[in-house]
């Protein structure tokens, strides 16, 4: 279902494994299909997951968002290959459609998990799901968009056996 290109710039013993990432992505994809099967039909995707240090995260955040500090996750969606009008031969040569890149800042992620008193695994799962939804066009800039995106995240996280990241108890920590 997914081809992962995992790039580790900053290693950490608490980084998620490829198997964990694949299971979390599969749950997110299943929920997207349940949400809108026509829009999010079961497809194969290639995704790059890049685990970086604070400097690279800060540089990317400054370049692409105008914010001069590192951040937990950045998402870089790729335009829909189906709408690009590429010839069938080229699509076949390119292989699995690349849905986008997710760039995680390892030190920020670790610090956030500690500050929120949650397991690193739960935080990695949440922000991988969060980033994956961004790759599919979900956002949280407006209240109605945030409610939809957070609702999907909560449902997926609970299905994975994690606490709801937006529950009052989790937010109070």
The tally of CA atoms less than 13 A away on the side-chain side of residue 109 is 29
In a domain, 172, yes or no: no
**Residue 46: what pLDDT?**
87
Determine, yes or no, domain membership for 41.
yes
- For Cα atoms 50, 27, 109, give the angle at the middle one, nearest 5 degrees: 35
- What's the pLDDT score for residue 93? 64
Q: Is position 173 within any domain?
A: no
Give the pLDDT score at 171.
43
For residue 96, being part of any structural domain is answered with yes
The token pair at 30 is 């299943």
Residue 8 lies in a domain: yes
d(C-alpha 59, C-alpha 39), whole Å: 34
| pLDDT, mean of each 10-residue run, the chain (173 residues) | 90 96 95 88 84 97 96 87 59 70 97 95 97 92 90 96 80 38
Res 164: pLDDT: 94
- pLDDT of 85: 59
* CATH code where residue 93 lies: 3.40.390.30
The predicted model scores a pTM of 0.87
Instruction: Specify the pLDDT at position 41.
Output: 78
- Residue 171 placed within a domain: no
d(CA 129, CA 152): 9
pLDDT for res 18: 96
- Residues in binding site: 130, 134, 140
At 172 the pLDDT is 36
Please report the pLDDT score of residue 173 as a whole number: 36
Annotated binding site for Zn(2+): 130, 134, 140
Q: How many structural domains are present in the chain?
A: 1
The DSSP-derived string for 101-139 is EEEEEHHHHHHHHHHHT--HHHHHHHHHHHHHHHHTT--
* pLDDT of the residue at 142: 87
Rounded to the nearest 5°, which phi and psi values hold at 87? -60, 150
Q: Please count the other Cβ atoms lying within 10 Å of the Cβ belonging to residue 4.
A: 14
> pLDDT at position 167, please?
84
Query: What pLDDT is attached to residue 62?
Result: 97
Q: Domain range for residue 133?
A: 2-166
Residue 72: inside a domain, yes or no? yes
135: in domain = yes
pLDDT on residue 42: 65
């Amino acid at each position: 279902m997914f081809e992962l290109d995992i790039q580790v710039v900053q290693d950490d013993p608490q980084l998620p494994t490829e198997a964990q990432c694949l299971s979390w992505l599969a749950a997110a994809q299943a929920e997207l299909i349940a949400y809108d099967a026509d829009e999010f039909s079961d497809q194969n995707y290639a995704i790059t997951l890049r685990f970086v240090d604070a400097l690279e995260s800060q540089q990317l955040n400054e370049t692409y968002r105008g914010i001069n500090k590192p951040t937990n996750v950045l998402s870089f969606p790729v335009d829909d290959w189906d709408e690009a009008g590429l010839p069938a031969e080229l699509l076949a040569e390119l292989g699995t459609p690349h849905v986008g890149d997710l760039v995680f800042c390892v030190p920020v992620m670790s610090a956030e998990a500690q500050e929120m008193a949650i397991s690193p695994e739960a935080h990695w799962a949440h922000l991988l799901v969060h980033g994956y939804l961004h790759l599919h066009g979900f956002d949280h800039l407006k209240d109605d968009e945030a409610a939809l995106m957070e609702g999907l995240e909560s449902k997926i996280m609970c299905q994975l056996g994690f606490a709801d990241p937006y529950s009052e108890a989790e937010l109070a920590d």
